[in-house]
Amino acid sequence: MADGNYLMTRPRVGISSCLLGEEVRYDGGHKRNPVLADILSDQVEWVPVCPEFEIGMDVPREPVRLVGERSAPRMIGEESGRDWTGKMELFCADRVEALSKLEIHGFVLKSRSPSCGLKVPVHDDEGVEAGETSGLFARILREKFPLLPIVEESELEDNKARERWMKKVRTAAIRQTAE
């Protein structure tokens, strides 16, 4: 689409579904963010993603946490001890590949989410917080798209930071369209 039509279309941006008000969280609720749902919705085409819901976890559901090594944490049910890691990693690889075909230009992730957060607590085998790592989906997303403008929703509360990020998204859209 190198004919200039990119100026007439909105950039396509992935987003954690709960930030748009979808009730997909472990507690059956959402984390609707008015800045994203009301202000940026006019500027971008959202592509909602909820890895936990999309792999078949119930709503509501048992909370999960990241456990083990920061470089390769496991996603474990807090009460049952069920290990969701393998199923989540398979899903993430497939979902990120599907996103590449949609030509996304940016991504907004839910902070502190064991699947979507960029900085998530990781616990040792006794349940003690032992540092930070990226959520399983966030890690695979960053590996597949190292140049993609990716942020957590909390980073977009500031007007200047939001405009800087949107400039990166628009630049990515223009660059991709010109190719």
**Per-residue pLDDT, 175:** 83
Q: How far apart are CA 28 and CA 23, in angstroms?
A: 6
Q: pLDDT at position 148, please?
A: 96
Please name which of 56, 32, 36 lies closest in space to residue 44, comparing C-alpha atoms.
36
Distance CA 176, CA 99 (A): 14
Domain layout of the chain by residue ranges? 10-178
Q: How many CB atoms lie within 10 A of CB 90?
A: 11
**Block mean pLDDT (10 aa), the chain, length 179:** 54 98 97 95 96 96 96 96 97 95 96 97 92 97 96 95 96 83
pTM value is 0.92
